[in-house]
Amino acid sequence: MVIFSKRSDSGQLNDISIAELKVGKVSQLNDSNPTHFGLGIKKFGEYNPDPKGGLSARVALAQFLSKREGAISPLFLPPSPERLYLLSSTSQGYSWLMKLLCDPGDKIAYPSPGYPLIPSIAKIEGVEAVPYFLRFDGSWYIDLPSVEKALSKEGVKALVLIHPNNPTGSYVSKEEFEKISGMCAEKDVAIICDEVFYDYGFCSNLPGRISGYAGALTFALDGFSKLLASPQIKTAWIEVSGSEEEVQEAEKRLDFIADSFLPNSWFQNESTPRLLEEAPKKTEEVRKRAQGNMEVLKKAFSGRELSSSLIEPEGGWSALVRFASTIDEDALVTDLIKKHALSAQPGYFFDTPFNCVAVSLLPPEGVTESRIKVLIDTIEALSRE
């Protein structure tokens, strides 16, 4: 059984709360909600906050998620409105889950290399981020001994899986997940799975989604930022799954956290069903753009000897261009900025085990072609110095 944080405990019901539950609907003498007295903007209706988010929005979301194919494990719960939480971003989701699972000083395991978001949020939450490692031997894989080592540290309450990882673009394989989920279940460690890039795979036989996994307490993160390629649409969600006992306890505590922040707006709840209708078309458009740019990159690196090479991702919105350790990453990026007004994120931003830069797969293909030529030529010039 996962042990939740002390700070997520809403405490016992007092006598007043118990009496209200027994009577049912009661009027509040101190009700300060203006919409209950006709003072709000009429078209928005009354405001009766639900910590999970509006029911109609969660019903539409559950229906949308149920149409997705492929689960990484047969231990799977179908999407349910009651196990979904709407919030503004996956970053906020990480913050809530750290509050739920970790007291200050506890630990959370995360993949390295990876986007530096998790250590940043962990620092804000007073939680220690402990890395486990992805290794590269022509393709990326999870170093399972490093997972075991991370989970053996005292105070580790959750393990994060990025599926697929950013910026490596590597998915968690079925075999890796089976072993990692077994370790987490054995040590009563919750799984946090970030699947925001899952739909942007470059092969047909993806390993399946982790969301809905019932073999251990699991929290899956996703949202419109990637699904609709629109980070300004501040709607994301947490899907809770696992054993009934653990899910119920997690929901009780997440309700307390969500109710404390009241993140859901009328606009979010009203727009979610309509935006979900847009998702398949937009996702396909972005996937085709990323796949087209992958072909541009592969062509740029084929048929000639270069001091750099392309590491092809399995999915996501970026690819890594690797180059010799004799070329300083900062020197390369500084050269790009000064000579071409073109910047880049070097590999050490992500703790990659080799020198590289990340290349976006989102620009129009002509822009990608011209940018990758500049990058390759700059690397070649530095390699000759």
pTM across the whole model = 0.95
| 122 pLDDT higher than 90 | yes
Q: Average of pLDDT values for 234-250? A: 96
Residue at 38 is within a domain: no
Q: Which domain holds residue 355?
A: 283-383
Q: Average of pLDDT values for 245-259? A: 96
Question: From CA 55, how far away is CA 63, in angstroms rounded?
Answer: 12
Same domain, 206 and 295: no
Same domain, 190 and 69: yes
Residue at 83 is within a domain: yes
Same domain, 190 and 206: yes
C-alpha distances (whole Å) from 336 to each of 27, 266, 309, 329, 369 are 65, 45, 18, 11, 16
Q: Name the residue with tokens 């993806």.
A: 206
Q: What is the pLDDT of residue 308?
A: 96
Q: Are 170 and 134 in contact (CB under 8 A)?
A: yes
Lowest mean pLDDT among 180-189, 202-211, 256-265, 370-379: 256-265
- Give pLDDT tens digits for 147-199: 999 999 999 999 999 999 999 999 999 999 999 999 999 999 999 999 999 99
Confidence of residue 274 (pLDDT cuts 50, 70, 90): very high
- Give pLDDT tens digits for 319-339: 999 999 999 999 999 999 999
Same domain, 235 and 379: no
Q: What is the pLDDT of residue 167?
A: 95
Strand pairing partners for 86? Answer: 237
Q: How many domains does the chain have?
A: 2
Same domain, 104 and 232: yes
Same domain, 121 and 261: yes
Percentage, residues of the chain above pLDDT 90:
83
Same domain, 301 and 179: no
Q: What is the pLDDT of residue 244?
A: 96
- Give pLDDT tens digits for 209-226: 999 999 999 999 999 999
Same domain, 302 and 275: no
CATH number at residue 192: 3.40.640.10
Residue at 318 is within a domain: yes
Q: What is the pLDDT of residue 26?
A: 84
**Position 11: which residue type?**
G
Question: From CA 238, how far away is CA 249, in angstroms rounded?
Answer: 15
Question: From CA 115, how far away is CA 12, in angstroms rounded?
Answer: 39
Residue at 234 is within a domain: yes
Residue at 41 is within a domain: no
Q: How high is the mean pLDDT of the chain?
A: 94
- 283 φ/ψ angles, rounded to the nearest 5 degrees: -60, -40
Q: What is the pLDDT of residue 27?
A: 82
**Position 380: which residue type?**
E
Question: From CA 160, how far away is CA 41, in angstroms rounded?
Answer: 42
Domain boundary among 224, 249, 279: 279
Q: What is the pLDDT of residue 31?
A: 81
Confidence of residue 48 (pLDDT cuts 50, 70, 90): confident
C-alpha distances (whole Å) from 257 to each of 26, 98, 99, 122 are 24, 11, 8, 17
Same domain, 71 and 204: yes
Same domain, 108 and 200: yes
Domain boundary among 261, 279, 297: 279
| 45 pLDDT higher than 90 | no
Q: What is the pLDDT of residue 303?
A: 83
Same domain, 316 and 275: no
Residue at 1 is within a domain: no
Residue at 263 is within a domain: yes
CATH number at residue 315: 3.90.1150.10
Confidence of residue 42 (pLDDT cuts 50, 70, 90): confident
| 231 pLDDT higher than 90 | yes
Q: What is the pLDDT of residue 13?
A: 79
> Residue 126 — left, alpha, or beta (φ > 0 → left; ψ -120 to 50 → alpha)?
left
Question: From CA 259, how far away is CA 50, in angstroms rounded?
Answer: 8
**Position 258: which residue type?**
A
Question: From CA 176, how far away is CA 143, in angstroms rounded?
Answer: 9
- Give pLDDT tens digits for 277-314: 999 999 999 999 999 999 999 999 998 899 999 999 99
Domain boundary among 279, 308, 341: 279
Q: Average of pLDDT values for 267-277? A: 93
Residue at 31 is within a domain: no
- Give pLDDT tens digits for 82-105: 999 999 999 999 999 999 999 999
Confidence of residue 47 (pLDDT cuts 50, 70, 90): confident
Q: What is the side-by-side order of every strand in the sheet holding 236-241?
A: 84-87, 236-241, 218-223, 190-194, 156-162, 107-112, 128-136, 140-142
Same domain, 257 and 376: no
